[in-house]
Structure 1
Amino acid sequence: MGNPRAIRESHVQHQSGVNIWMCVVGRQLTEPFELLERLNGDTYSNFIRRNLPPLLEDVNLEARINMWFQNGGAPCHYGVQVR
């Protein structure tokens, strides 16, 4: 019988992650969007230019005119091409 208090270190964890973008405007939520590529300044800038406008189409024009766009502080949000 083995020691019930024995500890065996294992290094099987791998870095993984999923990036989902979603917007709250007033009481309305946009459709969630999965960003498939690893995020950096270029991929996030491409998302803002190509994918964001269609996601906001269902938000009424007055709300879009008056809304604020706020990033959460991830490094990709500070890329020169994003700012």
Structure 2
Amino acid sequence: MALFYVNGEVNRQNVRYWSQNNPHWVDHSKQQGVQKIMVWCGLWKARVLGPFFFDEHVTGETYLGMFRDQVMPKLERLGEGLPEWFQQDGAPAHFATVVKDWLNENFPNWIGRRGHVEWSSRSPDLSPLTSFSG
């Protein structure tokens, strides 16, 4: 998931820079009350699933609702079976109890915070999302 500000302000939490030198960035203060939207996309084989949008604060329940009611039907329509592995990052909504319980029931192997395979949300190891170069 990534957060975007409607006014064009850049959310630096969406981007990670790996460098041996400190770039000495200046942190500009954020405006209060700026309209924003949360966006989720997934990768499945040669496809991008989504984007799916959240106008509200993302909780475990809203994230699970999106995944169960939108992502899973999309995967079923593709007719290629369910992923053998599912990986997500460590966003708080992703490891809510209702989400973990649902993933445990529906995916034999899932990678993420408190998943079948523990994966640090800020791991410098290669992940599907960092393996693509633009």
TM-score surpassing 0.5? yes
The higher relative CO (CA closer than 8 Å, separation ≥ 6) is in 1
1:29 alignment partner AA: V
Q: 1:24 to 1:36 in 2, by over 3 A?
A: same
Deviating runs (4+, > 3 A) in structure 1? 57-60
Is 2:36 the counterpart of 1:13?
Answer: no
Structure showing greater Rg: 1
SS of structure 1 residue aligned to 2:98 = coil
Q: How does 1:16-55 map to 2 (within 5 A)?
A: 17-55=36-74
In the alignment, is residue 74 of structure 1 matched against residue 91 of structure 2? Answer: yes
Backbone CA RMSD of aligned residues = 2.4
| Identity percentage of aligned residues | 28
**Whose strand proportion is higher, 1 or 2?**
2
Structure 2 gap segments, 5+ residues each: 1-28, 101-134
Rounded to whole Å, the distance in 1 between the matches of 2:63 and 2:83 is 22
With normalisation by structure 1, the TM-score equals: 0.64
- What is the number of equivalent residue pairs in this alignment? 71
Structure 1 spans left out of the alignment, 5+ residues: 1-10
